[in-house]
Amino acid sequence: MVDKVDILVVTVFTVAIAIYFNKDLLLDLITGASDEAFKLQNSSGSRDIVTVLKENDKNYLVVYGSQTGTTEDYAKRFAKELISKFKLNVMCADLEDYEFDNLHNLPSDLVISLFLSTYGEGEYPDSALQFETWLKNLDPMDKKLDNVNFTIFGLGNSTYEHFNGAARSAWKLLKANGAHLIGKFGLADDGAGTTDEDYLSWNEKVTEQIKTFLKLDEQDLKFESSFEVTKLESLEENVFVGEPSSQYLPACEELPHNDEGLQTGPFNTIYPYVAPIVKSYELFDPKSGRNCIHTEFDVSGSNLKYSTGDHLAIWPSNANEKVEQFIKALNLDGEMIFDLKSKDPTMKLPLPTPTTVEAAVRHYLEITGPVSRQLLRTLIQFAPTETIKTKLLDLSNDKDQFAKEINAQYFNIADALYYISEGKPWTTIPWEFILEFTPKLQPRYYSISSSALTEKQTIHVTSIVENVTNDEDDMPPVLGVTTNLLRNIQLDKAGLLEKDIKDKIPEEDKDEPEVEEEKKEEKKEDTESVNEKTVEKIETPTPSKSATKEKHTLPVHYDLDGPRNLFQGYKLPIHVRRSTFRLPTNPQTPVIMVGPGTGVAPFRGFIRERVKFQELNPNVKLGKLLLFYGSRDANDFLYREEWEEYKTKLNGSFEMVVAHSRLPNKPKVYVQDKLKDKEEEVMELLKEGAFIYVCGDAKNMAKDVNAAFVGTYTRGLKIEEAEAREIVKMLKSQGKYQEDIW
Ligand code: FAD
């Protein structure tokens, strides 16, 4: 039976989310508040897309709705290519910056290329919510968009049920309202790891079709910068050296703060809260050979609020070694201070300026991600020698050769450039090109592992450290930017980080100072957590036994003090992203949770929430809380000590079922196997109206768990599998089967 209260709550909540996301936009519009550095420089300030296109003599429009920045990146590349190839006067814009109400007045020889990503359960990205509402409110009977000619490219992941849901929806709505599609509907599949190749094959065809449609002449790709770089002499107060937004500059007096001088937000994708890290510890046993860091951010006094089940965005910066490598490979002057002006009034600056080259590379550019084949194609014009030109041509034309020589080696931009030039730095690539073609460094999201009811002043995250070892022994591993930063902080905070191998302390001198360091640290944590202690809270067990006293030499190091010491004392910029992953409002509704690995993070928050509720309402009998958890073995069993405590506090309503996949001489057991083992009990809970929650790996686990529930229904209700699949689908649409997968 569907729990009507819960459906109502899910509906109200969905509406509330939509309002919430538009709220900041509305607030920005009302107050005019937005980051100065990213503002359009010369536009009339109109938000009407047709007016701005006309005002700026634009004859092509590329628009994007991007959640993590990848879609924005592809849209910008596409726009750049149209400019270089066809001399089109392209406007490239974020959907959230404009209104489309007058699109029916668009000249019919102006083509729109829409790039749209899909988020969560087929949702439009936050920045496209307004566009979605506009599209959905059009009446197809009016065929109001009959004058619109468009191309569309969706970026999605086939491991999710609603693969490219947002792009499909936009495509259907545009067509239903009379708009005409040029070429094929382009779909990129991150689940298959083919986003770049999907884009390239769509691009190849669609550019030909656009050329025919608009009767264009083609010329050789030639880079013309959209920006003008000016070299500045001295480091003034208004020069960004990595601050996340202009409010953090010494020259800025705008920082919204309360009487105690603490920042008050609103905190969002352009203005994060620089939060102190009050606790950080390793969760895995050293025997596991891997690392997983528990981090607690103090948000007391900041107005930064979250709900249990939300996501925390952490803004990273690049590691010293990677910054150095990038600067060397491109023969840059890291100390150069520069200002940037957009030659095109409709074009946003890619980063806040004035700034330094080093700050741009460290804080604003994504320098370690995979390289695209298209980038190599665009680099041909800067090839310093004929040999390098031939190499670039071969690699960019042959996708198998590119996959083998570049992708399979996990090369980042600098690695690839060194490989192609046989170790020589590149002196021919202009800084403007680097700024335009290197993606923006994006915040990374984490499922919050604390409960807003229990931890009002701190936000916990549980992050596995990304350390992908390369098949080739002599190649360095791929090191995740954010998770290695969190590990550096954890070790440094505990005095366990060997900062420089050259200054290695002799073994015999090690013990004394470390004990002192630890004492100092304990004292610091005591004072830093003072706000937290005023809130009644569940005790967090002490950092695991795995915190060894041995110093660690890590492959990468970071500037932990941050720009102008903004992060000193272990701080990082963060903001909260609302999710729809929520416990049922009725605490008596049973709950089935499936979260292997770090997928258990939000369930730690859920359980802590119920523990607190039980403390406050001892007479309420809670619904069953059944958690399926999986780890390789006992060495990577997350929060092992905590679960026992929760069981005691929840008086038998909480049960945890554990699957281990790598026990010696034992078959591999996964959460879906355990679900099958317990399917009778699971079926009973489902009959009682249990909510299902799945968190973690989207590629395999979520699908296997979905199949396990289909199996449970098939056998439990003695029905056809197709019928069981429909039931599971219906639960999802009712918000009774929720996924937080990535
Ligand atoms: P990145 O630097 O982003 O690298 C990530 C991966 O990209 C690498 O491991 C590698 O596979 C690949 N890669 C990078 N560079 C290259 C290259 N040159 N060539 C080829 N491949 C490359 N994670 C958690 O641990 N806990 C959570 O609770 C959690 N919750 C999440 C919730 C949401 C909604 C989402 C979207 C993600 C969540 N994640 C979570 C994942 C997390 O956001 C990050 O993706 C993850 O921590 C890696 O970030 P990073 O900066 O360390 O790694």
3-state secondary structure string, 408-475?
HHCCCHHHHHHHHCCCCCCCCCCHHHHHHHCCECCCEEEEECCCCCCCCCEEEEEEECCEECCCCCCC
Q: How confident is the model at residue 542 (pLDDT cuts 50, 70, 90)?
A: low
Pocket lining: 478 vs ligand 1, CB cutoff 6 Å: yes
CA 694–ligand 1 middle distance (angstroms): 19
CA 48–ligand 1 middle distance (angstroms): 37
Q: Pick 219 or 297 by higher pLDDT.
A: 297
Q: What is the mean pLDDT of residues 327-342?
A: 97
Q: How confident is the model at residue 510 (pLDDT cuts 50, 70, 90)?
A: very low
Q: How confident is the model at residue 270 (pLDDT cuts 50, 70, 90)?
A: confident
Query: Alpha-carbon distance 85 to 308, whole Å?
Result: 49
Ligand 1: which residue has its CA nearest to atom 14?
A: 369
Q: How far is CA 533 from CA 26, 231, 388, 529, 537, in A?
A: 36, 50, 61, 6, 8
Given this model, what pLDDT does residue 667 score? 97
Helix (H) or strand (E) holding 614, with range, is: helix 601-616
Q: What is the mean pLDDT of residues 255-262?
A: 68
Q: Pick 469 or 326 by higher pLDDT.
A: 326
Site to probe by mutation for ligand 1, drawn from 157, 483, 572 as the one with most ligand atoms within 8 Å of Cβ, is 483
CA 342–ligand 1 middle distance (angstroms): 32
Residue 463 has pLDDT above 50, yes or no: yes
- Give me the sheet containing 227-232, strands edge to edge: 227-232, 337-342, 355-356
Given this model, what pLDDT does residue 518 score? 42
Q: How confident is the model at residue 429 (pLDDT cuts 50, 70, 90)?
A: very high
Residue 60 contacts residue 94 (beta carbons within 8 Å): no
φ, ψ (nearest 5 deg) of residue 654: -105, 130
The SS3 assignment for 485 reads helix
CB atoms near residue 379 (< 10 Å): 25
Q: How confident is the model at residue 46 (pLDDT cuts 50, 70, 90)?
A: very high
pLDDT over 70 percentage in the chain:
85
Pocket lining: 369 vs ligand 1, CB cutoff 6 Å: yes
Residue 531 has pLDDT above 60, yes or no: no
Given this model, what pLDDT does residue 22 score? 42
pLDDT digits (tens, 9 = 90+) for 590-615: 999 999 999 999 999 999 999 999 99
Give the tokens for residue 253: 């007096």
Pocket lining: 13 vs ligand 1, CB cutoff 6 Å: no
Q: How confident is the model at residue 668 (pLDDT cuts 50, 70, 90)?
A: very high
* Lowest mean pLDDT, pick from 139-148, 187-196, 254-263, 707-716: 254-263
pLDDT digits (tens, 9 = 90+) for 641-659: 999 999 999 999 999 999 9
Given this model, what pLDDT does residue 529 score? 36
Query: Alpha-carbon distance 475 to 545, whole Å?
Result: 32
Query: Alpha-carbon distance 191 to 699, whole Å?
Result: 7
Residue 317 contacts residue 328 (beta carbons within 8 Å): no
CA 483–ligand 1 middle distance (angstroms): 8
Given this model, what pLDDT does residue 541 score? 54
Ligand 1: which residue has its CA nearest to atom 32?
A: 446
Given this model, what pLDDT does residue 507 score? 42
Tell me the angle at which helices 195-214 and 70-86 cross, rounded to the nearest 10 degrees: 40
> In ligand 1, which atom is closest to the CA atom of 468?
9
Query: Alpha-carbon distance 379 to 367, whole Å?
Result: 16
Bridge partners, residue 271, by sequence: 268
Given this model, what pLDDT does residue 311 score? 97
Q: How confident is the model at residue 538 (pLDDT cuts 50, 70, 90)?
A: low
Pocket lining: 317 vs ligand 1, CB cutoff 6 Å: no
Pocket lining: 368 vs ligand 1, CB cutoff 6 Å: yes
> In ligand 1, which atom is closest to the CA atom of 598?
26
Q: How confident is the model at residue 221 (pLDDT cuts 50, 70, 90)?
A: confident
CA 684 to chain centre: 37
CA 482–ligand 1 middle distance (angstroms): 8
Residue whose pair of structure tokens reads 């706000």 in the numeric block: 531
Given this model, what pLDDT does residue 628 score? 98
Residue 67 has pLDDT above 90, yes or no: no
Pocket lining: 160 vs ligand 1, CB cutoff 6 Å: no
| DSSP letter (8 states) at residue 252 | -
Give the tokens for residue 667: 């078959």
Closest CA to 453 of 307, 326, 292: 307
Pocket lining: 69 vs ligand 1, CB cutoff 6 Å: no
Ligand 1: which residue has its CA nearest to atom 5?
A: 480
The SS3 assignment for 375 reads helix
Q: How far is CA 387 from CA 378, 383, 397, 412, 420, in A?
A: 16, 8, 15, 21, 9
> In ligand 1, which atom is closest to the CA atom of 601?
28
- Concatenate the DSSP letters of all residues of 161-227 into one string: TTTTHHHHHHHHHHHHTT-EE-S--EEEETTTT-HHHHHHHHHHHHHHHHHHHHT----------SE
CA 651–ligand 1 middle distance (angstroms): 37
Q: How far is CA 587 from CA 449, 578, 590, 656, in A?
A: 19, 21, 8, 18
Kind of pairing, strands 737-741 and 691-696?
parallel
Closest CA to 330 of 461, 418, 259: 418
Give the tokens for residue 637: 């069993």
Q: How confident is the model at residue 251 (pLDDT cuts 50, 70, 90)?
A: confident
Ligand 1: which residue has its CA nearest to atom 34?
A: 445
Ligand 1: which residue has its CA nearest to atom 25?
A: 463
Q: How confident is the model at residue 57 (pLDDT cuts 50, 70, 90)?
A: very high
Pocket lining: 741 vs ligand 1, CB cutoff 6 Å: no
Pocket lining: 598 vs ligand 1, CB cutoff 6 Å: yes
Closest CA to 376 of 336, 407, 340, 348: 407
CA 731–ligand 1 middle distance (angstroms): 29
Pocket lining: 528 vs ligand 1, CB cutoff 6 Å: no
Residue 14 has pLDDT above 70, yes or no: no
Give the tokens for residue 154: 């969706």
Pocket lining: 464 vs ligand 1, CB cutoff 6 Å: yes
Query: Alpha-carbon distance 629 to 694, whole Å?
Result: 10
Given this model, what pLDDT does residue 160 score? 85
CA 518–ligand 1 middle distance (angstroms): 31
Pocket lining: 482 vs ligand 1, CB cutoff 6 Å: yes
Q: How confident is the model at residue 261 (pLDDT cuts 50, 70, 90)?
A: low
Query: Alpha-carbon distance 680 to 588, whole Å?
Result: 20
Closest CA to 107 of 147, 144, 151: 147
Question: Cis omega before residue 354 (within 30°)?
Answer: yes
Question: Cis omega before residue 541 (within 30°)?
Answer: no
Closest CA to 385 of 431, 422, 435: 422
Pocket lining: 601 vs ligand 1, CB cutoff 6 Å: yes
First-to-last alpha carbon distance for the chain, in angstroms, is 30
Vertex 79 angle, CA 77 and 82, to 5°:
110
Ligand 1: which residue has its CA nearest to atom 31?
A: 446
Given this model, what pLDDT does residue 471 score? 63
Residue 546 has pLDDT above 70, yes or no: no
CA 82–ligand 1 middle distance (angstroms): 32
CA 163–ligand 1 middle distance (angstroms): 20
| DSSP letter (8 states) at residue 48 | B
pLDDT digits (tens, 9 = 90+) for 673-699: 999 999 999 999 999 999 999 999 998
Q: Pick 552 or 506 by higher pLDDT.
A: 552
Pocket lining: 444 vs ligand 1, CB cutoff 6 Å: yes
Pocket lining: 291 vs ligand 1, CB cutoff 6 Å: no
Cα pseudo-dihedral 377, 379, 382, 388, rounded to 10: -70
Query: Alpha-carbon distance 615 to 650, whole Å?
Result: 9
Site to probe by mutation for ligand 1, drawn from 284, 463, 469, 554 as the one with most ligand atoms within 8 Å of Cβ, is 463
Ligand 1: which residue has its CA nearest to atom 17?
A: 370
Q: What is the mean pLDDT of residues 373-377?
A: 94
Q: How confident is the model at residue 468 (pLDDT cuts 50, 70, 90)?
A: confident
Q: How far is CA 595 from CA 259, 447, 638, in A?
A: 42, 12, 11
Residue 81 has pLDDT above 80, yes or no: yes
Q: What is the mean pLDDT of residues 487-514?
A: 66
Q: Is 416 exposed, middle or buried (0-12, 13-18, 19+ CB in 10 A)?
A: buried
| CA torsion through residues 717, 719, 720, 724, sign | negative
Q: Pick 41 or 622 by higher pLDDT.
A: 622
| DSSP letter (8 states) at residue 234 | S
Ligand 1: which residue has its CA nearest to atom 38?
A: 446
Mean pLDDT estimate for the chain: 88
Pocket lining: 481 vs ligand 1, CB cutoff 6 Å: yes
Q: What is the mean pLDDT of residues 340-355?
A: 93
Closest CA to 439 of 359, 529, 367, 348: 367
CB atoms near residue 507 (< 10 Å): 8
Pocket lining: 446 vs ligand 1, CB cutoff 6 Å: yes
CA 459–ligand 1 middle distance (angstroms): 19
Cα pseudo-dihedral 339, 342, 345, 350, rounded to 10: -90
Pocket lining: 570 vs ligand 1, CB cutoff 6 Å: no
Residue 483 contacts residue 293 (beta carbons within 8 Å): yes
Q: Pick 191 or 635 by higher pLDDT.
A: 635
CA 480–ligand 1 middle distance (angstroms): 6
CA 19 to chain centre: 22
Residue whose pair of structure tokens reads 């601050």 in the numeric block: 243
Vertex 460 angle, CA 455 and 465, to 5°:
170
Site to probe by mutation for ligand 1, drawn from 282, 295, 445 as the one with most ligand atoms within 8 Å of Cβ, is 445
Given this model, what pLDDT does residue 294 score? 98
Bridge partners, residue 114, by sequence: 63, 152
Pocket lining: 742 vs ligand 1, CB cutoff 6 Å: yes
